[in-house]
């Protein structure tokens, strides 16, 4: 039996187990299973690996995308630049685990974003500055899209929500939410900006996929903006993870 799984805490919002369980079933992939491993502290990872010797790969979610790095033997070039890992391949050499980290968030985000980009999307506002934002910023830099990071507490290299003017919203036609704002069960939360400044040229992208239309996306859509949730990004990154685990 080959085991794959997801580490993070909490894991109530995860789609990964359902996705991979259905994949194994639909594609006739026998002797494979996908499990959830809710670990609150990343220090539990070595014990998890020793207790589950059939583990061949892990997905990594909040809050471990950054703090998992020190437990890896190797990190892929893109993941190293991003500074966050959400996929780990586990190989065994002479009885010892060899862990290599990747970032499939960047791949999934780029693949789902690019078809929606227009010539007006040269500047972006990125809400949040956690592990997911790192992958988003990596992709924006790759696509030569300027960006401002927006946070709630003063941080170097970022602006506050209260700093966002009408002029900033008009100039930045791409808005990306990388925070858990709006995620079930807190569906009434959203990045606090003046949505009346948005229009048909804006593209609002939310990494949240539960619910499919967050308050952020609904408010942007009311102003005529194009909207996109994080579900396709998840499918793209999941398939990328599967390819990595089977290299």
Residues 241 and 221: their CA atoms lie apart, in Å, by 32
Distance between CA 223 and CA 233 in Å, rounded? 24
Structure tokens at 46: 């070595």
Residues noted as catalytic: 65
């Amino acid at each position: 039996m080959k085991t794959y799984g997801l580490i993070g805490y909490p894991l109530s919002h995860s789609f990964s187990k359902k996705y991979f369980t259905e994949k194994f079933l639909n594609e006739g992939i026998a002797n494979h299973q996908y499990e959830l491993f809710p670990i609150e502290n990343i220090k539990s990872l070595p014990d998890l690996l020793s207790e589950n010797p059939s583990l061949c790969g892990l997905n990594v979610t909040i809050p471990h995308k950054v703090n998992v790095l020190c437990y890896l033997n190797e990190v892929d070039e893109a993941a190293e630049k991003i500074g966050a890992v959400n996929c780990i391949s586990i190989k065994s050499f002479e009885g010892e685990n060899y862990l290599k980290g990747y970032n499939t968030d960047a791949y999934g985000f780029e693949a789902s974003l690019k078809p929606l980009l227009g010539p007006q999307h040269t500047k972006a506002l990125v809400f949040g500055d956690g592990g997911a934002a790192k992958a988003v910023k990596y992709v924006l830099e790759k696509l030569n899209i300027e960006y401002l990071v927006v946070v709630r507490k003063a941080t170097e290299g970022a602006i506050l929500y209260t700093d966002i003017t009408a002029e900033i919203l008009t100039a930045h036609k791409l808005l990306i939410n990388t925070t858990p704002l709006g995620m079930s069960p807190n569906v009434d939360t959203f990045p606090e900006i003046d949505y009346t400044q948005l229009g048909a040229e804006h593209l609002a992208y939310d990494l949240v996929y539960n619910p499919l239309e967050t308050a952020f996306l609904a408010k942007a859509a009311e102003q005529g903006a194009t909207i996109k949730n994080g579900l396709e990004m998840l499918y793209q990154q999941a398939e990328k993870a599967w390819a990595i685990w089977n290299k």
